[in-house]
A = this chain, B = another copy of it.
Amino acid sequence: MRSFESKNRTSTEDIKSLRLITAIKTPYLPDGRFDLEAYDDLVNMQLEDGAEGLIVGGTTGEGQLMSWDEHIMLIGHTVNCFGGSIRVIGNTGSNSTREAIHATEQGFAVGMHAALHINPYYGKTSIEGMISHFDSVLSMGPSIIYNVPSRTGQDIPPRVIHTLTQSPNLAGIKECVGNDRVKQYTDNGIVVWTGNDDQLHDARWDYGATGVISVTSNLIPGLIRQLLFEGKNPSLNSKLMPLIEWLFQEPNPIPLNTALAQLGVIRPVFRLPYVPLPLAKRVEFVKLVKSIGRENFVGDKDVQVLDDDDFILVGRY
């Protein structure tokens, strides 16, 4: 189903050079549909503060709560409105090879620059099955492989990655296992983005990582960029650590969603099974913002503590 129209083609090399990729949040209207106005604002803030790539519909963007038509539409929308300014990486992976094939084919057709691919979570498979799974989609275009055993229940071992490096489309790895694993790859010339914000500074400066696929950059894109581009900065890194810890106290994107709502840049709407952090944690976030400086966060409204009643939780949408 390949198109050879060249307008949006991006080389795998281009993807390899990206340092700051934000796993962008998907905001919702009160009925649970996408809030594209808010989304566009979020993306514009990323552009202004220096993000170079976006993961659309990642776990942060709650791709797991989207129907595929919503998901591909959001990729197409992002390409159409922002594809000239930022690299759009669609999370078209799936634990079903069929779905990964279909979504990836569609994602490239609507112009995404690269695909993010996960190993088959939950269903899991053998090593041979994992390789067959990735082989089914790697030929379609530039691809990043995503390893996050704490979610998938199954590590992608280095030998799988080394097999996949035979494909010219493999741009690199989003690795969440830790910096030793990062180094194992970067020592062998494989591009890595850490998926752990708390390790990004060291991953970048000490372990050879190209950059980060970040959750935290949804909130403070400029500071994350500073950590990646302006040399070692352990003091800034330390200063951000309490915020990063706050963001991962519960499964992401629960804290992120809560934070963005309190910053006034998204409506306080959650698609279940996500629910907001409790009040005490919401109060903490306001303190963290004040400590780091409101001006470093996205948006320009006062940060506020939302009440329980302010949040809308939707199950049917």
Contacts and interface: CB of A to CB of B under 8 A. Distances in A.
Interface of A: 1-5, 7-8, 29, 31-37, 39-40, 59, 62, 64-65, 68-69, 72-74, 76-77, 79-83, 95-98, 101-102, 106, 109-111, 120-126, 128-130, 132-133, 136, 149-154, 250-251, 254, 271-275, 277-278, 313, 315-317
B274 A122 contact: no
B98 A3 contact: no
29 contacts: A1-B33, A4-B37, A4-B40, A5-B40, A5-B82, A7-B80, A31-B316, A59-B122, A64-B123, A69-B106, A72-B72, A72-B73, A73-B106, A76-B77, A76-B110, A76-B111, A80-B83, A98-B272, A98-B316, A101-B316, A102-B316, A120-B273, A124-B151, A125-B274, A125-B275, A128-B275, A130-B273, A149-B153, A154-B251
Contacts of A79: 76, 80
Contact of A273 (B2, B59, B97): B97
A256 to B, nearest CB: 13
A250 B152 CA distance: 15
| Oligomer copy total | 4
A295 to B, nearest CB: 25
A251 to B, nearest CB: 4
Contacts of A271: 97-98
A50 B217 CA distance: 46
B153 A111 contact: no
A67 to B, nearest CB: 9
Contacts of A254: 125-126, 129
A272 B83 contact: no
Contacts of A3: 36-37, 39-40, 77, 81
